[in-house]
Structure 1
Amino acid sequence: MRLILCLVLSLVAAAQAGAEPAEQWLKADETAMTRTISGLVQVYSIREKPTALMVVEGDKIIASWGALDRKINVASVRKSLLSALYGIAIAEHRISLTSTLADLRIDDKKPSLNEAEKQATVRDLLTSRSGIYHLAAHETREIKSNRPARGSHAPGTYWFYNNWDFNALGAIYRKETGEDIFASFATRIARPIGMEDFSKRDGRYAFEKVSVYPAYPFQLTARDAARFGLLFANGGRWNGRQVIPAAWVRESTWAHARTNRGNRGYGYMWWELSSEPWGRGGAYAAGFGGQIIAFLPAKKLVLVQTVDLRANPKGIRTSAVIELMKEIAAALPE
């Protein structure tokens, strides 16, 4: 009786852990459903011209397009990658969400931060609500033209997609943990989940004269990005190991702020996917030009897209990828 109970508990634990791919991704068996989704991906890819697109259900590829092993600068997807590292560091009590910039002795080039700005917390930066509108590295034209005036909003009161917040978070991570971002990602996430291509050499620090805090662009292949998406779809677990705390997976992908971008929800450097039509718990990481890692736990679905802007300089709208996801989700069994 005890043996049977242990077996049952083992099976339950395995089911809860979710499915992970083998050392290399395998394709799902061909069915009417996979043919339908492959057709959707083909039509979309011919029209939009991604470098790579990969759709995963459970631990298998159900459709793909392009060069899945080609490394691409995934732009602002970097922010969600760093958010995952924050979840680990906070669980290990090396960083606190409630620490202020004053506590952490964070400042910047002149015009320096004032005392009110230094009351912004790590949580404020993670949700892009610091109220600090200092110039920053890797800003887009849209950010530059729409940046509010310094002192116009108190910390924690107003959402603005702000590269200063994201870049400062990179510096805080390095300062408080004593770890390089890319080496940390390779050791703490990429290696445990079996990424095939990523190494710490696939990141760099991009400095600009306007700020002491660099951006930290990452290069990823689609097949490695899909493992990261699947890790979140599985609640941070991989082969029975809790790589990222489950509580952080939930908290970081919830909407902590409503944005000025179609009232979309923003978490801790993740974009929320509303519950319709694909169930609760979904989120996506998005980067300029159409870089995306999206996961839908209720559908056991992960979708990844990379776009080389040298080959496709116009890029791909995020809304186009979301529409494809809706079509794919509708084709999956209930």
Structure 2
Amino acid sequence: MMNITIKRIIIGICTTIILLTIYLLVPQVSNPSPSYETKLTHGTPVSDDIRAMLTPSIEPKRTRAIMVMQDGKVIYEYGPTDKIMNGHSTRKAMLSLLYGIAVDKKLINLDKTLSELDIDEYIPLTTQEKSATIRDLLMGKSSIYLPASGEHDNQITQRPKRESHKPGTYFFNNNFDANALGTIFIKETETSIGEFMEEYLAKPLGLQDFDSDNVIMGSPWFMPKKKTMHEQYYIYISTRDFARIGSMVANKGRWNGKQIISEDWIIKSTSSHSDLSNNHINYGRYDGFGYQWWTASDTNTIWTDGYGERFMIIDPDKRLTLVEQNFTGNSLLSSGLWLMNKNMDSGLSNLMKAHKTLAKNK
């Protein structure tokens, strides 16, 4: 009897270890091969000087992918640009593009208030907070200063006091706005973000590594979460697909001669609606904010960036798009190992130098 009991215990332990290993290793998202994918074309490669500038002289301590495009063509590529990665906060600019499509289709009215949309939170919103419109949220001006999923750093430490500003009057990089925009988008379009993005962005652009499963609502892991009505959405995207989207924006919403998103929306959403020079937070290289896009007036560029050192620089005047992504994990184990390593190295300074040189020469 004792031997049978010990045997059952050993089997139970082994089974638990196997299941735990599978749980730790299973990817959150797998690389799809969509039927609508089209290959990118290549233009005249960058000069040797710029190539040397962008190509790491020492192999990075983590997986890095870089792509530069001009006029819709690839002119520089480094690393596994087909590898899908968590886009982190770059999700916000991508959702802004989906809002543009939905607005053009008259599925969403940006002037609707949260009260009209019946949007609330577990910490109830005040009458003033509910007067914020969708447009206010897109501009980061909801003036709703509540804890939200995925926030970090100054989003927590420098959050203004509730009702210290009226909606539409003051910018704060607020994850409540970004996450509530996801909730509103799904509610108003009656479609998931992933399905909408696949149908109206991925297919027309011919993205190579995307399908609706690349968008995950809420954490896929059994991890402690903040109690909120507005889940964080995650968009996993390859560097080559990300660069293609940026190249479409650089060309005022057109791709291969077809208008994917209206030029009016691209101009409106990537123009600054906030002067950040007098903000209580120093946003560094950015001095403006559009509809979830950052702007830098000194270089006349449009930006989106994300945690873990990922960046997109768009120069509409030169029709240039420069992208860097760094892999932050695609399973509980790989994400955990990256967090433990705390390695935040990036090639941003070289990306910016390359843009300056290309913009001067092109």
Q: Same fold (TM over 0.5)?
A: yes
Structure 1 residue aligned with 2:105, among 84, 87, 92?
Answer: 92
Computing the radius of gyration over CA atoms, which structure comes out larger, 1 or 2?
2
Question: Where in structure 1 do 4 or more consecutive aligned residues deviate above 6 Å?
Answer: none
Matched, 1:267 2:296: no
The 1-side partners of 2:61 and 2:42 are apart by: 23
- Residue by residue, what CA displacement relative to the aligned partner does 1:254-276 show, whole Å, maximum 9, x if unpaired? 00012331461000000113253
What fraction of aligned residue pairs are identical, expressed as a percent?
A: 34
Question: Which residue is equivalent to 2:314?
Answer: 295
Matched to 1:25, the amino acid is L
Question: Which residue is equivalent to 1:25?
Answer: 40
Q: Any idea what SS the aligned residue of 2:69 has?
A: strand
- Residue by residue, what CA displacement relative to the aligned partner does 1:168-219 show, whole Å, maximum 9, x if unpaired? 0100010011010011001100110010001111111116332110011111
Gaps of 5+ in 1: 1-21
Q: TM-score, normalised by structure 2?
A: 0.78
Matched, 1:34 2:47: yes
Q: Any idea what SS the aligned residue of 1:211 has?
A: coil
- Residue by residue, what CA displacement relative to the aligned partner does 1:224-281 show, whole Å, maximum 9, x if unpaired? 00110111011111233221111000000000012331461000000113253xxx4x
Is the Cα–Cα contact under 8 Å of residues 53 and 350 in structure 2 kept in the other structure?
no
Question: Which residue is equivalent to 1:179?
Answer: 191
The 2-side partners of 1:301 and 1:251 are apart by: 19
Question: Which residue is equivalent to 1:332?
Answer: 361
Report deviation, 1:126: 0.4
Report deviation, 1:119: 0.5
Question: Which residue is equivalent to 2:130?
Answer: 118
Question: Which residue is equivalent to 2:151?
Answer: 139
Report deviation, 1:24: 1.5
Is the Cα–Cα contact under 8 Å of residues 99 and 121 in structure 1 kept in the other structure?
yes
Question: Which residue is equivalent to 2:29?
Answer: none
Report deviation, 1:317: 6.3
Question: Which residue is equivalent to 1:306?
Answer: 325
Is the Cα–Cα contact under 8 Å of residues 289 and 309 in structure 1 kept in the other structure?
yes
Q: Any idea what SS the aligned residue of 1:128 has?
A: coil
- Residue by residue, what CA displacement relative to the aligned partner does 1:73-103 show, whole Å, maximum 9, x if unpaired? 0100000110001111112222112111111
Question: Which residue is equivalent to 1:233?
Answer: 250
Matched to 1:177, the amino acid is T
The 2-side partners of 1:120 and 1:143 are apart by: 19
Report deviation, 1:29: 4.0
Matched to 1:272, the amino acid is T
The 2-side partners of 1:108 and 1:181 are apart by: 21
The 2-side partners of 1:147 and 1:229 are apart by: 30
Where do 1:54-133 residues align within 5 Å? 54-109=67-122, 111-133=123-145
Where do 1:246-261 residues align within 5 Å? 246-259=263-276, 260=281, 261=283
Q: TM-score, normalised by structure 1?
A: 0.84
The 2-side partners of 1:156 and 1:137 are apart by: 22
Gaps of 5+ in 2: 1-36, 220-224, 330-337
